[in-house]
């Protein structure tokens, strides 16, 4: 892809002759040893795409199995499939998705810096990610793991006969990759902003990634500790979680969710950032309530640490713990609602156009709102007692993680594609894909809310026949969704070679990343930019390009 993007035809205008894809060479070695945040972002993008398709393949097989009530695969294969799907999608796609690709590429550009604060650490983070990913794939290939991505004890520590310790090691390693990225972003945001780039002039994308990074740095070590304890119990029979050895199985759940609930916000906050960039650009209006959007992200990252036991309302926690954690879960729903209201208000009296990134953003708002509102259902004590561990919960978190985060990821991918590659994608195909994803997603996951209320449990390879009709609908939706996700792979790939040259600012967007050429030069800016205005100063008439 590298050489083709820079050999423009002579009749095409605005070719950045000097850019990060050519400077420093185009050899494999120059890529694998690069310290340029933009090249590392490309490496990350390629690797998470591989894992997205691995996790997606498992999801496809899961939906295939559930077409019939008796299942197609054996239970052992099915249990390995959903474990693989969960581990790969959570740790090897969702958590690194926006921060490590777009965050890596854009944060220095958005704040007017030459690179991240620690370029070598950034490369190390990618190598840790790849090493961990290969380890996870190895564990899967030699026999797999059947614990679910949640590794609940004492099943994972003493009863499961899968390759649990290998999987734990892979997750542990990828956790360090998260920590390094988080650290890098925090220091970069504090120390490397261009003159005039005050905190309240930062794009919301930077704020969101900052809030995400704080969670990564504070929560991930707890995961590391927990996984090591599980491995210690499994390998050395040290009694920590299994009551037969004198341990406490609920201790694991407290520790695991102390990481994994904040991790939900690691997965969604960067998405909020992307949407907050796209909506003002295509509504040609400043973001409504900038400070409220910013501080709601910070509020989410703080309160997010105090809601973990809402995963445990039927697990045997005390009545009072249940009452407190449910209340806090309702509290954290407020800042999320604030964001939705602000995005909607941004549309008011705007000059709205519906290019592909905007379609993804509007789809995000719709799906995230449904996901957020059903969050109120599962945060509700009595309601959760009926639906926890059913497909209601599965549908709820897929609305947030897939309907929300993956839509935001695709929205961002389209929005910044011209900046990253210097090429435009075919708009018509991009809109088709956005619509396919939206409708396919709803057809896949909406029936699962109903299935969950009916009592269909998670992680069942077979189920009572009265649930089949909704399952068939869901599986039909999954095939539409799969087509929607495969489509960008082709037209974006095509645009790398044949796409129209983008110019530096095809959307007439504000933001420093649009002030430099596309693709940007290795050092991002020819002259250090100076910032004099707040972000999102959009006006109805598109500003002339490339001045």
Partner 1 sequence: MGSLQLLPPTASAHAADMDWLFAALLGTSAFILLLVFGLMILFCVRYRKNSKVERGNRLGRTWRVEVAWTTATFIAFLGLYFWGAELYVDIHSPPKDATDIYVVGKQWMWKIEHPGGQREIDTLHVPVGRPVRLVLTSEDVIHDFAIPAFRIRQDALPGRYETLWFTPTEVGDYRLFCAEFCGTWHARMGGSVVVMQPSDFQRWLDSQDPGPSLAQEGEALFRSYGCSGCHGGAGTVRAPRLEGLFGRPVPLEDGRTVIADDRYIRDSILMPKAEIAAGYPPVMPSFAGQIGEDDLLKLVAYIKSLADGTAGTSQAGSVERPAQ
- Residue ranges in 307-346 that form contacts with partner 1 under rule CB under 8 A: 313-316, 319, 322-323, 326-327, 330-331, 333-334, 337-338, 340-342, 344-345
CB nearer partner 1, residue 195 or residue 464: 464
Site for partner 1 in 20-59 (CB under 8 A): none
The yes or no reply on residue 380 touching partner 1 (CB under 8 A) is yes
Q: Judged by CB under 8 A, which of 8, 194, 389, 426 binds partner 1?
A: 389
Site for partner 1 in 468-497 (CB under 8 A): 468-470, 472
Q: Which residue among 55, 182, 271, 350 contacts partner 1 (CB under 8 A)?
A: 350
Asked if 244 is part of the footprint of partner 1 (rule: CB under 8 A), the reply reads: yes
Q: Write down the least CB distance from residue 474 to partner 1, Å.
A: 12
Nearer to partner 1, 48 or 167 (CB): 167
CA distances from 8 to 3, 78, 133, 163, 232 (A): 10, 49, 36, 50, 57
Candidates 459, 500, 501, 523: give the one binding partner 1 (CB under 8 A): 459
- Min dist CB 231 to partner 1, Å, is 18
- The conformation of residue 317, written as its DSSP 8-state character, comes to -
Binding partner 1 by CB under 8 A: which of 200, 465, 489, 537? Answer: 465
Pick the closer one to partner 1 by CB: 49 or 537.
Answer: 537
Phi and psi of 462, rounded to 5°? -135, 160
Q: Is-contact 325 307, C-beta < 8 A? A: yes
How far are the Cα atoms of 46, 350, 371 from residue 364, in angstroms, in the given order? Answer: 23, 19, 10
* Dihedral sign computed on CA atoms, order 210, 211, 212, 213: positive
Please pick, from the candidates 383, 429, 439, 446, the single residue that binds partner 1 as defined by CB under 8 A: 383
160 binds partner 1 (CB under 8 A): yes
Intra-chain end-to-end CA distance of the chain, in Å: 29
The helix-helix angle for 204-236 and 164-191 (nearest 10°) equals: 150
Cβ neighbours around 385 below 10 Å, total: 11
Nearest distance from C-beta of residue 263 to partner 1, angstroms: 19
CB nearer to partner 1: pick between 383 and 429: 383
CB of 223 to partner 1, least distance (A): 19
Interaction of residue 431 with partner 1, rule CB under 8 A: no
What one-character DSSP code corresponds to residue 153? T
CA angle 77, 156, 383 (to 5 degrees): 85
Beta bridge partners of 501: 423
Tell me whether residue 53 or residue 292 sits nearer to partner 1 (CB atom). Answer: 292
Residues 68-87, interacting with partner 1 (CB under 8 A): 71, 75-76, 79
Contact of 99 with 129, CB cutoff 8 Å:
no
Please, what is the minimum distance in Å from the beta carbon of residue 159 to partner 1? Answer: 5
Q: How far is the CB of 371 from partner 1 (least distance, A)?
A: 11
User: Where in 251-280 is the site for partner 1 (CB under 8 A)?
Assistant: none
Per CB under 8 A, the list member of 192, 454, 496, 531 interacting with partner 1 is: 454
Does position 439 bind partner 1 by CB under 8 A? no
Size of the site for partner 1 (CB under 8 A): 90
DSSP per-residue letters across 131-179: HHHHHHHHHHHTT---STTTT-TTIIIII--S-HHHHHHHHHHHHHHHH
Closer to partner 1 at the Cβ: 10 or 316? 316
- Using the minimum distance from each CB to partner 1, give the nearer residue, 127 or 341: 341
* Residues 375 and 330 sit within 8 Å (Cβ to Cβ): no
Q: Any contact of residue 121 with partner 1 (CB under 8 A)?
A: no
Binding residues for partner 1 restricted to 180-239, rule: CB under 8 A: none
- From the CB of residue 470, how many other CB atoms can be counted at a distance below 10 Å? 19
Q: How far is the CB of 489 from partner 1 (least distance, A)?
A: 28
- Nearest of 488, 385, 420, 537 to residue 101 by alpha carbon: 420
Q: Which whole-number Å values give the CA distances from 439 to 134, 196, 277, in the listed order?
A: 34, 43, 24
Question: Which two structure tokens, joined as six digits, stand for 484?
Answer: 């929607």
User: Judged by CB under 8 A, which stretch of 96-104, 105-113, 384-392, 417-425 contacts partner 1?
Assistant: 384-392
Degrees, nearest 5: CA angle 221-226-229:
130
Distance CA(389)–CA(304), nearest Å, equals: 21
Out of 127, 138, 159, 490, point to the residue binding partner 1 (CB under 8 A). Answer: 159
Q: By CB under 8 A, tell whether 300 contacts partner 1.
A: no
Closer Cβ to partner 1, 380 or 479, answer by number: 380
Find the part of the chain contacting partner 1 (CB under 8 A) among 107-115, 243-251, 267-275, 519-527: 243-251
347 is a contact residue toward partner 1 (CB under 8 A): yes
Subset of residues 359 to 378 that bind partner 1, contact rule: CB under 8 A? 362, 365-366, 369-370, 373-374, 376-377
Handedness of CA 462, 467, 469, 474 (dihedral sign): negative
Distances (CA, A) of 101 to 95, 240, 377: 11, 38, 33
Q: Is the link from the previous residue into 154 a cis peptide, with omega within 30 of 0?
A: yes
User: Cα(49)–Cα(408) distance, rounded to whole angstroms?
Assistant: 15
Nearer to partner 1, 19 or 390 (CB): 390
Q: Which is nearer to partner 1, 36 or 355 (CB)?
A: 355
Does position 515 interact with partner 1 (CB under 8 A)? The reply is: no
Asked if residue 277 lies in contact with residue 203, where contact means CB atoms within 8 angstroms, the answer is yes
């Amino acid at each position: 892809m590298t050489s083709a993007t820079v050999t423009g035809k002579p009749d095409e205008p605005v070719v950045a002759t000097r850019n990060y894809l050519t400077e420093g060479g185009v050899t494999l070695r120059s890529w694998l040893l690069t310290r340029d945040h933009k090249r590392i972002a490309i490496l990350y993008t390629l690797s998470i795409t591989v894992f997205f398709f691995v996790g997606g393949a498992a999801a496809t097989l899961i939906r295939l199995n559930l077409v019939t009530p008796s299942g197609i695969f054996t239970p052992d294969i099915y249990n390995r499939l959903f474990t693989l799907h969960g581990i790969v999608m959570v740790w090897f796609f969702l958590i690194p998705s926006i921060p490590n690709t777009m965050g890596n590429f854009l944060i220095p550009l958005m704040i007017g810096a030459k690179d991240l604060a620690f370029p070598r650490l950034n490369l190390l983070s990618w190598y840790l990610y790849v090493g961990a990913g290969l380890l996870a794939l190895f564990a899967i290939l030699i026999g797999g793991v059947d614990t679910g991505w949640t590794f609940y004890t004492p099943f994972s520590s003493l009863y499961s006969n899968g390759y649990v310790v290998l999987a734990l090691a892979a997750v542990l390693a990828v956790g360090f990759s998260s920590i390094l990225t988080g650290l890098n972003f925090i220091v970069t945001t504090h120390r490397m902003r261009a003159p005039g780039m005050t905190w309240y002039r930062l794009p919301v994308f930077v704020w969101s990634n900052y809030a995400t990074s704080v969670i990564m740095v504070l929560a991930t070590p707890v995961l590391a500790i927990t996984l090591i304890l599980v491995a210690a119990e499994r390998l050395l029979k040290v009694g920590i979680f299994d009551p037969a050895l004198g341990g406490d199985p609920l201790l694991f759940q407290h520790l695991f969710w102390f990481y994994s609930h904040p991790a939900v916000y690691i997965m969604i906050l960067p998405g909020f950032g992307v949407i907050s960039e796209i909506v003002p650009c295509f509504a040609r209006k400043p973001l409504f309530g900038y400070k409220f959007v910013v501080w709601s992200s910070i509020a989410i990252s703080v309160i997010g640490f105090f809601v973990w036991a809402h995963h445990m309302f039927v697990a045997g926690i005390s009545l009072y713990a249940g009452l407190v954690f449910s209340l806090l879960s309702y509290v954290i729903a407020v800042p999320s609602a604030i964001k939705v209201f602000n995005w909607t208000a941004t549309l008011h009296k705007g000059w709205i156009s519906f290019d592909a990134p905007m379609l993804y953003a509007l789809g995000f708002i719709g799906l995230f709102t449904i996901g957020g509102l059903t969050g109120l259902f599962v945060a509700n004590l009595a309601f959760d007692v009926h639906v926890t561990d059913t497909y209601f919960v599965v549908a709820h978190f897929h609305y947030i993680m897939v309907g929300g985060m993956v839509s935001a990821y695709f929205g961002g991918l389209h929005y910044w594609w011209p900046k990253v590659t210097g090429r435009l994608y075919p708009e018509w195909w991009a809109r088709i894909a956005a619509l396919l994803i939206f409708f396919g997603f709803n057809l896949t996951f909406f029936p699962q809310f109903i299935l969950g209320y009916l009592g269909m449990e998670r992680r069942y390879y077979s189920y009572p026949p009265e649930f089949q009709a909704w399952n068939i609908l869901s599986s039909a939706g999954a095939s539409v969704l799969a087509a929607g996700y495969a489509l960008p792979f082709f037209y974006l790939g095509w645009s790398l070679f044949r796409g129209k040259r983008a110019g530096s600012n095809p959307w007439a967007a504000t933001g420093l990343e649009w002030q430099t050429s596309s693709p940007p030069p290795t050092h991002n800016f020819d002259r250090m930019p100076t910032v004099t205005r707040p972000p999102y100063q959009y006006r109805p008439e598109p500003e002339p390009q490339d001045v």
